[in-house]
């Protein structure tokens, strides 16, 4: 069988994309660890809300808010469309808890934390939140209009200007949902980031994603301790009034495997530990070529899908060797992405003459969204990046990446790039945004 092609599949949009691997490729596959999916998410959510971590039940927090202000208002911040947070299931019991504490639906707003991504349509809000849209007011955050922001002051340790939505700051109680998973800058994402970045004004996003943070050795994937980005997010969320989080962890198939509710710090600590055990996987070496799966919703646009390459490049040790190649199968039905951040990302890559110039230009002038261009540029200085089977090959090329019609052509381009050796090592990472391959200590980088 060693001299015959092998047939494999990788996540693509909401399904899978099959491809053939030629016999001169030596294949390894690394996936996240297995965990038992939550059998009944609504039931598990109710159980967690009844036994919160590190603090009071949400209904008690609501009662305290009503005691201080008779017409107390609550805000629930939820993730944008590029995160597969099951908010249609998570938000209704949060509303019930707030009601039980004395805050009626009329005094509750759900805010979709879009950051600098595009606004969500009414249909998308309904798809994400279900019947919640018929029950309470649902709005998008606005990171572009200063008239919508409240000033939280200067945020340590790097003096970031602190702006959140007035709607959030003026609320008597702030709650957030989110997914805890590895994040390029925050270490792990979650409800605090939903508020601190997703509901921020543009100066926050620009500063936290600028070169001072990107080049700080503490700002790393899956790292929380000593991470100034994480510390900044924590403080912004605290000043914005975040008191309660309901977060989840998903497996490689986007199934919920853990739920936690309660104090934001306690929830993140609990779920980050579970996420690390699930996602961090040992590998023995670097590879010539890595096939990095993404799948829905992150492969909707290049801004999000490109994370697959940068996560592999900026793992504790780069998963692909210097001079190697990463192949990303991604549909990209929205091209680079339709929000201002996504458009800046593409423009920064397109206008520069080289990846090195992208980085140098960001040191001179930087706007929110361009951080993704910097990470892609730094990755391109290390290895080749090929996007396969996309609906926007022209966008891929404008971003200085190679476009391939399918995975097979992507592998051909990669094989040519590494010099067509007799044997080439290939690692398939079906869910590259979830799985964090870590080369074992003692293995040379």
pLDDT, tens only, 283-310: 999 999 999 999 999 999 999 999 999 9
Q: Are 239 and 162 in contact (CB under 8 A)?
A: yes
pLDDT digits 0-9 by tens, 102-154: 999 999 999 999 998 889 999 999 999 999 999 999 999 999 999 999 999 99
Please provide the distance, in angstroms rounded to a whole number, between the alpha carbons at the two ends of the chain: 32
Q: Which of 306, 236, 246 minimizes the C-alpha distance to 82?
A: 306
* Beta pairing partners, 27: 426
Question: pLDDT by residue for the chain (445 residues), tens digit each?
Answer: 457 789 999 999 999 999 999 999 999 999 999 999 999 999 999 999 999 999 999 999 999 999 999 899 999 999 988 788 999 999 999 999 999 999 999 999 999 999 988 899 999 999 999 999 999 999 999 999 999 999 999 999 999 999 999 999 999 999 999 999 989 899 999 989 999 999 999 999 999 998 899 889 999 888 999 999 999 999 999 999 999 999 999 988 889 999 999 999 999 999 999 999 999 999 999 999 999 999 999 999 999 999 999 999 998 899 999 999 999 999 999 999 998 889 999 999 999 999 999 999 999 988 888 999 999 999 999 999 999 999 999 999 999 999 999 999 999 999 999 999 999 999 999 999 989 999 985 444 3
- The dihedrals phi and psi of 94, each to the nearest 5 degrees, come to -65, -40
Q: Which of 256, 202, 275 minimizes the C-alpha distance to 88?
A: 256
Residue whose token pair is 């107390």:
72
State the architecture of 41-277 in CATH terms: 3-Layer(aba) Sandwich (3.40)
Beta-carbon count within 10 A of 281 CB: 15
Q: Are 232 and 155 in contact (CB under 8 A)?
A: yes
Q: Are 258 and 271 in contact (CB under 8 A)?
A: yes
- Give CATH 3.90.226.30 domain extents, the chain: 6-30+284-439
Q: Which of 383, 380, 379, 386 minimizes the C-alpha distance to 410?
A: 386
Question: Alpha-carbon torsion 231, 233, 235, 238, what sign?
Answer: negative
CA separation for the pair 359, 356 (Å, rounded): 5
State the architecture of 6-30+284-439 in CATH terms: Alpha-Beta Complex (3.90)
Contact partners, residue 195, CB within 8 Å, separation at least 6: 77, 113, 164, 168, 174, 176, 236, 237, 240, 242
Predicted model pTM? 0.85
Tokens of 214: 């990107």
Q: Are 176 and 260 in contact (CB under 8 A)?
A: no
Tokens of 440: 């074992």
CA separation for the pair 443, 315 (Å, rounded): 14
CA separation for the pair 113, 116 (Å, rounded): 9
- Give CATH 3.40.50.11440 domain extents, the chain: 41-277
Q: Are strands 256-262 and 242-250 parallel, antiparallel or unpaired?
A: antiparallel
């Amino acid at each position: 069988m060693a001299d015959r092609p092998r047939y494999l599949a990788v996540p693509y949009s909401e399904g899978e994309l099959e491809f053939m691997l030629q016999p001169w490729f030596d294949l390894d596959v690394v996936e996240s660890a297995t965990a038992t999916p939550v059998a009944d998410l609504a039931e598990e959510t109710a159980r967690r809300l009844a036994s919160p971590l590190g603090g009071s039940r949400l209904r008690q927090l609501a009662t305290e808010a009503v005691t201080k202000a008779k017409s107390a208002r609550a805000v629930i911040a939820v993730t944008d469309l590029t995160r597969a947070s099951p908010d249609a299931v998570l938000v209704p019991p949060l509303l019930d808890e707030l009601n039980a504490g004395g805050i009626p639906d009329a005094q509750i707003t759900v805010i979709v934390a879009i950051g600098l991504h595009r606004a969500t349509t009414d249909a998308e809000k309904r798809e994400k939140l279900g019947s919640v849209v018929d029950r309470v007011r649902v709005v998008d955050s606005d990171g572009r209009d200063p008239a919508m922001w409240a000033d939280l002051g200067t945020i340590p340790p790097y003096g970031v200007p602190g702006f959140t939505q007035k709607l959030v700051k003026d609320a008597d109680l702030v709650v957030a949902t989110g997914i805890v998973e590895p994040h390029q800058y925050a270490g792990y994402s979650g409800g605090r980031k939903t508020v601190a970045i997703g509901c921020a004004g543009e100066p926050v996003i620009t500063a936290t994603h600028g070169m001072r943070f990107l080049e700080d050795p503490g700002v790393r994937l899956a790292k929380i301790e000593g991470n100034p980005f994480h510390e900044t997010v924590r403080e912004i969320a605290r000043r914005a009034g975040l008191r309660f989080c309901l977060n989840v962890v998903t497996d490689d198939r986007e199934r919920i495997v853990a739920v936690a509710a309660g104090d934001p710090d306690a929830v993140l600590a609990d779920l980050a530990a579970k996420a690390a055990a699930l996602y961090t996987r040992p590998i023995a070496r670097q590879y010539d070529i890595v096939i990095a799966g993404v799948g829905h919703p992150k492969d909707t646009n290049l801004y999000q899908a490109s994370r697959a390459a940068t996560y592999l490049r900026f793992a504790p040790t780069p998963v692909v060797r210097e001079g190697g190649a990463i192949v990303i199968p991604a549909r990209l039905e929205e091209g680079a992405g339709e929000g201002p951040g996504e458009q800046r990302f593409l423009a920064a890559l397109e206008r520069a003459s080289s990846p090195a110039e992208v980085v140098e230009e960001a040191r001179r002038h930087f706007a929110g969204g361009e951080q993704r261009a910097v990470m892609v540029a730094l990755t391109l200085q290390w290895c080749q990046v090929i996007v396969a089977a996309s609906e926007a090959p022209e966008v891929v090329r404008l971003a200085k990446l190679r476009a391939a019609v399918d995975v097979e052509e992507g592998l051909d381009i990669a094989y040519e790039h590494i010099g067509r050796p007799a044997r080439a090592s290939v690692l398939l990472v079906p869910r590259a945004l979830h799985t964090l391959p870590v080369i074992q200590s003692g293995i040379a980088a």
